[in-house]
Structures are given as C-alpha cells and as structure tokens.
C-alpha cells in the first residue's frame, strides 16, 4: 500500500507542505525499525543482571523454561524452544559469541541489525556448528582476529541475538538448559571470561515509560527526526538508502548531526507532522502475506532482506524483532477454517495430515495456538503446541489428525490441542523447511470444522 494514498498540489495546501508530507511519511517508515530497535535495546538492557527477557548490554537473557502464558518478552513463542536474547554494542570492540556443540540437537541463532535486517543465521542448515564467532561492528579498525574465530561483520553497532534451542519436552529440559548456558558472550579483549562488566542502568525512568513501540507511535516529527539523526551515527544506513537520505538531508536531518527543527518553515513542519501520522497509519497495517491455500498464509520470501521496501520492513518490525530468514524458520498462520470462517473455541476442528505429508523440515515442526494478540492462553493441561517432538497417535491409514477444541475430547487426548474460548489463530513452526515447502509445493492442509 502507498504511504500517502492521494496527494496533489493545488487548492489551499502549499506545494512545500505536500512535499514535506510525503517526506514525513517516508521518513517514518524508513526510520521506524532503527528507532524501535534502539529504543527496545535501551529498555531491555536497563538492568544490573539478567531478569526475564532483559539483561545488561552484551549479556544473554536465557529464558530457561518453555514459553507459557506468563511469557510476554516473545510473541508467538514456540513451546518446544528455550530462547536466549541479547543486545550487543559493537562500537568499542568485537564481541565473541560462543556456540556449544549441540551433538545433533537442532538450534538456531539469528543475528539482526539495528535496521532489522538479518545479518546471519547460525545453525545446522548453514553448517555453523560449535565454535567462536567474532561479531565485528562497522567502525572497528583493530588488529587481525585471533585464529579459530569465525568473523561475522555487522553493518550496525547495535545487534540483536535471538537464540533458539529445541527440546522434546519436560523430560528433555535439563540437557537443553545445560547447552543453553554454554551459549555465551565475551568481549574480544577478555575472551574466555564468563561475565561481562556490570553496566550502569539508566534509572527508573525508562522502566516506567511506555513500551518502546508506544514511545515511537506517540512521537512528534521533531523528536522522531532528531532521534533518527542521532541513532544513525552508530548504526549507518545502507548505500542503497542514498535517495531517502538526500531528502532528509535537505531538511537538515543528517547522520550524527544535530537537527534544528526551528529553522524549518511553518508549512514544512506542518507537512512533516501530517506525513508522520500517515507513516504511523501505514505501518500499523499487517505486511502483505503470501496466500498458500486452505486459509494458510505466510510472510513469504524476502524476510530479513528488504532492499528499499521500507514500508514492508517497518510493518514486519512492528510485528516483532529478530525475524529469521525463511530458509531457517518459516511460520505459516491461519485464523480461518476450510470455509473461510474465523476459528473460534466455540467450535471443534481437526487438522489432518495425510500419510507421508507431515511438514517437511530438516529440524522440527510444531503446530501452536494463540489468541489474537499472539499470546499463549492458559489451558488445563498446559499444552500450547503439538508436533514431531510429541508422542502423537497416527490414524490406522498412517495419517495424523490434530484435534483443536476448547473442551477435552472424549477418549485419548494425545492429539488434543486445547483452544481458547474466543477467536484464535494457528501457527505452524517449521525450522529448516525443505525447498518443497519454501517453493509452496507442500502446504499445510485446511483446518476442518467438525461440528
């Protein structure tokens, strides 16, 4: 969708205001991912020790339990996964990420730039096995790296790490946690130390403020553009961003330089304010989805690499940070049954995989259920997903049926995925999906309503 649907000169609106409105809308879509990342980083690292999904800068916050309804640090979490989160500042020196030998256990460590572009995905698919990875920022000019470290160049000094270590269930939790604790970070100069120096926190003000996303959506044009110029100093835009940077530069918004709002003409300031509102409205819409059939859809190809499609990049960032490439993790979703009706806990459903047609993956798959805010909902058996790590009961013909309903079914419940009372949606977590799935030669079956 266009950022500004219909603007033309004429009437009572000066041309300068119209041009500024277009620039303001583009500026918000362009800068939103960067400011969301850096604002989230300040909030997430504003602690003296790891606490839930927060940890000091250059430290991991290891979430050592499976996602449940109490977890809000991660939306649409996979119930078979232990998550680890870290925000890095690479400006002073490289940070060494140590990944343990998982002995065949599937895992994924994704690295995301401050502009929400995927830098790398470390895991079995990319043959990134145990070892040390030196994460190097754009401004570092130090000595050659020590032998034995694999260099990963980051285009920004702020980097988000999202680690996924997969487990088979409660009985497998202890060994998975042991591996998770071996996923560590250390400064290059202090390689081998187990802890980073303790950082000072910014104080209680940040903790009491609105969420990072809300802080941005409530910003006016002056604060937004001032913050954008400041944050670009340590997190440079890409070379392809030249045309947008030229437009911003004409307003005095330049990387690492102070921005003087007061010098702009009134009509320019009015246009920028209106344009910023246009940009906020545009990114609030979900990004375009690829329709897979049967009610299923996916964000599709190109995640993590957006080129100059700033609106799509911003819309994806608005859904969540730390998105992996589709080749490493794909998450088709549906909120409708085979007739296009919204899925709701007042009804009973079945998802039937025919024999030989289970999700084709190199790692794991699971079907998870969420409310419409992408959160897990409590249920009497604490079950939030079913997949290849569970002891599912196949049908006599070799097919597999997952029963999705609010009330406990009669008889065995091994294949029961408890549904919330109201509307819900399903997400198929597919780690290392096969080329057959990526090319849409395999798609999930439709959800069948059976009452």
333 and 247 co-located in one domain: no
308 and 413 co-located in one domain: yes
Which domain-ending residue is among 240, 259, 284?
A: 284
Which domain-ending residue is among 258, 284, 310?
A: 284
Predicted confidence pLDDT, tens digits, the chain (451 residues): 456 544 444 457 789 999 999 999 999 999 999 999 999 999 999 999 998 889 999 999 999 888 888 877 777 788 889 999 999 999 999 999 999 888 888 899 999 999 999 999 998 888 666 679 999 999 898 888 988 899 999 999 999 999 999 998 888 999 999 999 999 999 998 654 444 444 455 554 554 567 899 999 999 999 999 999 999 999 999 999 999 999 999 999 999 999 999 999 999 999 999 999 999 999 999 888 888 888 899 887 778 999 999 999 999 999 889 988 899 999 999 999 999 999 999 999 999 999 999 999 998 999 999 998 888 999 999 999 999 989 999 999 999 999 999 999 988 899 999 999 999 999 999 999 999 999 888 999 999 999 9
CA distance 331 to 298: 7
Range of the domain at 249: 15-39+203-284
* CATH code for position 21: 1.10.3360
* CATH code for position 147: 2.60.40.1610
The count of domains in the chain is 3
307 and 279 co-located in one domain: no
The 10 Å Cβ neighbour count of residue 74 is: 19
54 within some domain = no
171 and 234 co-located in one domain: no
Concatenated DSSP letters for 61-81? EEE-S---TT--SSTT--TTE
Are 289 and 299 a contacting pair, CB within 8 Å?
Answer: yes
What is the reported pTM? 0.89
268 and 297 co-located in one domain: no
Within 8 A by CB and 6+ apart from 35, the residues are 216, 224, 227, 228, 231
Region class of 295: left (phi > 0), else alpha (psi between -120 and 50), else beta: left
Q: How do residues 40-50 score in pLDDT, each as one tens digit?
A: 999 999 999 99
260 and 236 co-located in one domain: yes
Q: Give the burial class of 10: count Cβ atoms within 10 A of its Cβ; 0-12 exposed, 13-18 middle, 19 or more buried.
A: exposed
217 within some domain = yes
CA distance 104 to 162: 19
Q: How do residues 51-91 score in pLDDT, each as one tens digit?
A: 888 999 999 999 988 888 887 777 778 888 999 999 999 99
259 and 232 co-located in one domain: yes
* CATH code for position 412: 2.60.120.600
210 and 264 co-located in one domain: yes
């Amino acid at each position: 969708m266009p950022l500004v649907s219909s603007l033309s000169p004429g009437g009572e609106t000066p041309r300068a205001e119209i041009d500024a409105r277009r620039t303001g809308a583009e500026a918000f879509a362009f800068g939103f991912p960067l400011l969301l990342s850096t604002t989230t980083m300040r909030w997430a690292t504003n602690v003296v020790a790891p606490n839930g999904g927060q940890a000091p800068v250059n430290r991991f916050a290891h979430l050592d339990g499976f996602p449940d309804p109490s977890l809000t640090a991660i939306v649409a979490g996979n119930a078979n996964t232990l998550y680890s989160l870290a925000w890095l500042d690479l400006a002073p020196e490289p940070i060494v990420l140590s990944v343990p030998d998982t002995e065949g256990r599937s895992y994924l460590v994704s690295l995301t730039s401050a502009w929400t572009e995927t830098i790398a995905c470390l895991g079995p698919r990319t043959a990134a096995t145990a070892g040390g990875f030196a994460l190097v920022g754009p401004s570092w000019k130090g000595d050659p790296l020590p032998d034995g470290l694999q260099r990963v160049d980051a285009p920004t000094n702020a980097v988000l790490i999202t680690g996924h270590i997969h487990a088979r269930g409660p009985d497998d939790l202890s060994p998975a946690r042991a591996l998770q604790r071996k996923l560590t970070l250390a400064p290059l100069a202090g390689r081998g130390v187990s802890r980073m120096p303790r950082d000072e926190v910014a104080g209680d003000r940040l903790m009491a403020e609105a969420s990072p996303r809300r802080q941005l959506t409530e910003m006016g044009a002056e604060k937004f553009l001032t913050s954008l110029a400041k944050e670009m100093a340590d997190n440079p835009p890409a070379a392809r961003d030249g045309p947008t940077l030229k437009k911003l530069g004409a307003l005095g918004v330049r990387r690492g330089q102070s921005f003087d709002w007061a010098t702009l003409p009134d009509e320019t300031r009015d246009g920028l304010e209106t344009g910023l509102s246009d940009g906020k409205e545009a990114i609030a819409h979900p990004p375009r989805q690829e329709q897979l059939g049967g009610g299923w859809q996916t964000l599709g190809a190109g995640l993590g690499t957006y080129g100059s499609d700033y609106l799509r990049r911003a819309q994806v960032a608005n859904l969540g940070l730390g998105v992996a490439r589709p080749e490493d993790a794909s998450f088709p979703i549906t909120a409708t049954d085979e007739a296009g009706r919204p899925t709701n806990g007042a009804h009973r459903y079945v998802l039937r995989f025919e024999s030989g047609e289970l999700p084709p993956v190199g790692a794991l798959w699971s079907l998870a259920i969420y409310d419409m805010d992408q959160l897990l909902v409590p249920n009497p058996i604490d079950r939030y997903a079913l997949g290849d790590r569970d002891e599912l009961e196949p049908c006599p013909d070799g097919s597999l049926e997952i029963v999705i309903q609010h009330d406990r079914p009669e008889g065995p419940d091994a294949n029961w995925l408890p549904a919330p009372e109201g509307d819900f949606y399903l997400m198929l977590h597919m780690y290392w999906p096969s080329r057959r799935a990526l090319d849409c030669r395999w798609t999930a079956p439709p959800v069948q309503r059976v009452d």
